[in-house]
Structure 1
Amino acid sequence: MIGVLLPDTTTSTRYVQYDAPFLKKAFESAGLTADQFKIDNAQGSAATMQTQADADINAGATVLLIDPLDPGSGAAIEAKAEQQGVKVIDYDRLVSGGPADRYYVSFNNVQVGQLIGKGEVDCISAWKVTNPNILIMDGDPTDNNAKLFAQGYNGVLAPHFSDGSYTKVGEPPGTWTPSVAQTTFEQQYTAHPNINAVVTPNDDNANAVISVLQKNSIPANTFPTTGQDASTAGLQNILKGYQCGTVYKPVYAEAQAAAALALYLRAGQTPPSTLVNSTTKDSEINKEIASVYTTPVWVTTDNMADTVVKDSGITGVGPTASDLCTGGLASACTAAGIS
């Protein structure tokens, strides 16, 4: 059996909206039956994830795909699994401190951050933001991906801060919890009312910031925010002119790669270099982890129809035109070629 352990349903909509159905579809397409794979969600509890992992191992799992809530609990699960001869794959998030011979399936997360940073720069220009005073909002500092995202967008923005064309107002402690992000932004905006642009690391946190902007009657197409995950809310905020864009990480490709890798390991075979196409440094153990990277895309109104909406129509999973073009967004959808 192959066991999949997903973290929660609150920090991002992707785990329910994309990952679980795409993984299920990938395993079924490979010929696995319902008793040969199991997909669980820990609902935000590290203890629950450990219990789910133990149950999978006791049921005969030979491979575990793990998207941990935090590196410590993830590494503990992986160490216990390896002791019992179970192969482990870090799914989407690197488990810092995990076994050296594990695999990692994700996107190039520095590149994801670079797309966010470049999207912010492009939006500041397109929306004619004068004297940009930017607040940088990060993801949870315990999440290795959040560090890589920040490395990417801070690298893009650093030259603008250095030459004085942009002002960095601050970079408060990060989070993946939207309610905490909302409180943080409200506090920062009250203390620094000159803020007129924000780097937000995913769509859910962007949505929390945008709710504050709308409450303060900030007009559309004037105050850039960014995101990732191509959630329904994020895409609608782009259509409304409150979010510049979102990094679309085609989870179907990530899920297919993870399933293919798991099947090789289940069969006791070494995955080919055409699949395992990179390495990722685990600084906790100072080792390069064999990795599978898939390609992210920056999505705006210009390419939304040809990327997310098109893929949703093909795969049957994800936001469709009917999902997006509600609540007065019909004309915005028409302008974006979404029908």
Structure 2
Amino acid sequence: MSSLRKRAGLTAAGVTAALLIAACSPGAGSTSAPAATSSAASSSGAGAQSLTVSDIGPSFRALKPLASLAPEGRGNVAVILPDTTSSTRWVEFDAPYLKAAFAAAGLPPANLIVQNALGSDATQVSMAQSDITQGATVLIICPLDSGTGAHIEQLAKAAGVLVIDYDRLTLGGTRGYYVSFDNVRVGTVMGGGFTACVKAWHVKDPNVIVMQGAPTDNNATLFAQGYLGVLNPLFKAGTYKDISNPPGSWDPPTSLSEFQQQSTAHKNINAALIPNDANAAAIIHYLQGQGVKPQTFPTTGQDASLAGLQNILAGYQCGTVYKPIYLEAGATAALAMYLRAGKSPPSSLVSGSVMDTIAKVSIPSVLATPEWVNTANMNDTVIKDKFVPVSQLCTGQYASACQAAGISG
């Protein structure tokens, strides 16, 4: 068994699917910050007591009933995103969506801080310390790694600040809530899209390199758990061959270097499970330079980036896992508005639970559902949601492919 499969298997029992109704206050031992009151059904925000993550759209109209919570709350809400390199999403989508979601929910702009740590652990810690000093009562953090996240959450706990883990779970942390996509399902969707593509592209004897994101990112482990759940039975049956499992990274140059080393050592590699669009783009560019033709070498991705979607249209990437980030941003804003006002969020919103396998506590969670996007449904998903403008997607060499896919503005 490969080291990658061993790592993914270790967490299989530690992740609870979003099927349980979670408690409406922070989990036992998760934080000593002031718990929200048990009276979720107060008149404030009553119109949103049945809010679910699926109610949220890119305009965030569903959050408007929360505006009555704003004057009942105190202090600032601070958001610290991780970097600009692991994905373009943090700058292009998360930051603006979070600002729009909080605006729709009625939080005054002066009470919202949205920052990016630019890949620096020290910067992320410094930003958190500054936010706490400046009066943050709710801190939303997407940690660069669990060690940094746990340190920040201890600082917040000592200051009585409530914490929401955003997108990435801090293992061993002391947060009260977690908002993300169902990350095991992200991997499962990716694995399913990959196997469908191998068949559709008529790849005989698939010799697969299985890649992953940074080992320090718990999400990367969960993604791997999902796609290995699809691939391992095929490897075991001999339908596919598991050729190589590099250590993994979210840095595209590092990922490319790993791929080049393995493809040089194993010249029979003819398919790659790649966990995000940015890493895939670097590898696809290399494959094109090696003379690889469209629809002959299946690759995958995640994030529905412009580059990823264009690689799909060009026939070099099978598809991408689309995570409508407005769902994550909107749910986080709603949750933060309740916590800032000292109220329990409705169970219709916090309807999931994820286990922190280090702290050994179950974290009340909001888990959105991802989608597989390829040429067949691109127009009805990312284009319909205005996630990527047609004017940017369908330029130059991609215009005819867009037309064939039925993509229109």
Q: For the superposition of Structure 1 and Structure 2, which TM-score range results when normalised by the shorter chain?
A: over 0.9
**1:291 correspondence with 2:291:** no
- Bigger relative contact order (CA 8 A; separation at least 6): 2
User: For residues 141-178 of structure 1, what are the alpha-carbon distances to aligned partners after superposition, in whole Å with 9 as ceiling and x for unaligned?
Assistant: 11110000000000101111111110000111010000
Segments of structure 2 that go 5 or more residues without pairing to the other structure are 1-75
Structure 1 unaligned spans of 5+: 313-317
Task: Quote the Cα distance in structure 2 between the aligned partners of 1:327 and 1:187.
Answer: 33
Task: State the match for 2:396 in structure 1.
Answer: 327
1:273 correspondence with 2:347: yes
Q: Specify the alignment match of 1:264 in structure 2.
A: 338
In the alignment, does 2:241 pair up with 1:151?
no
- What displacement does 1:54 show? 1.1
The correspondence of residues 207-222 of structure 1 with structure 2, limited to 5 A, is: 207-222=281-296
**Aligned counterpart, 1:315:** none
Query: Which residue, out of 69, 82, 85, partners 2:144?
Result: 69
Q: 1:13 aligns with which of 88, 101, 113?
A: 88
Confirm whether residue 4 of structure 1 aligns to residue 79 of structure 2.
Answer: yes
SS in 1 for 2:171: coil
Pairwise CA distance, 1:55: 1.2
In the alignment, what sits opposite 1:85? 160
Question: What is the Cα-based RMSD across aligned positions, in Å?
Answer: 0.7
Say whether residues 1:170 and 2:244 are aligned partners.
yes
| Counterpart code for 2:406 | G
Count of residue pairs brought into register by the alignment: 333
Letter in 1 for 2:129: D
Q: Percent identity?
A: 58
Match status 1:125 vs 2:125? no
1:221-260 equivalences in 2 (<5 Å): 221-260=295-334
Q: Deviations over 1:21-80 (max 9, x none)?
A: 100000011112221111000000011111111111111100001001010011100110
| Alignment of 1:22 onto 2:97 | yes
- Aligned partners of 2:308 and 2:339: how far apart in 1? 36
Q: Distance in 2 between matches of 1:75 and 1:13?
A: 25
* Post-superposition CA distance 1:71-99 (Å, at most 9, x none): 00111001100110100000000000111
Alpha-carbon offset, residue 327 of structure 1: 2.9
2:313 partner SS: helix
Is 2:177 the counterpart of 1:98? no
What is aligned with 2:254? 180
Structure-2 residue corresponding to 1:282: 356
Corresponding letter in the other structure for 2:389: T
Q: For 2:162, give the aligned amino acid.
A: K
Task: State the alpha-carbon separation in 1 of the partners of residues 346 and 390 from structure 2.
Answer: 38
Matching residue's letter, 1:241? G
CA distance in 1, matches of 2:250, 2:232: 23
Which is higher, the Rg of structure 1 or of structure 2? 2
1:302 is paired with a residue whose SS is coil
Cα displacement string for residues 94-147 of structure 1 (whole angstroms, at most 9, x for unaligned residues): 000111x51000011000000110011000000000000000000111111000
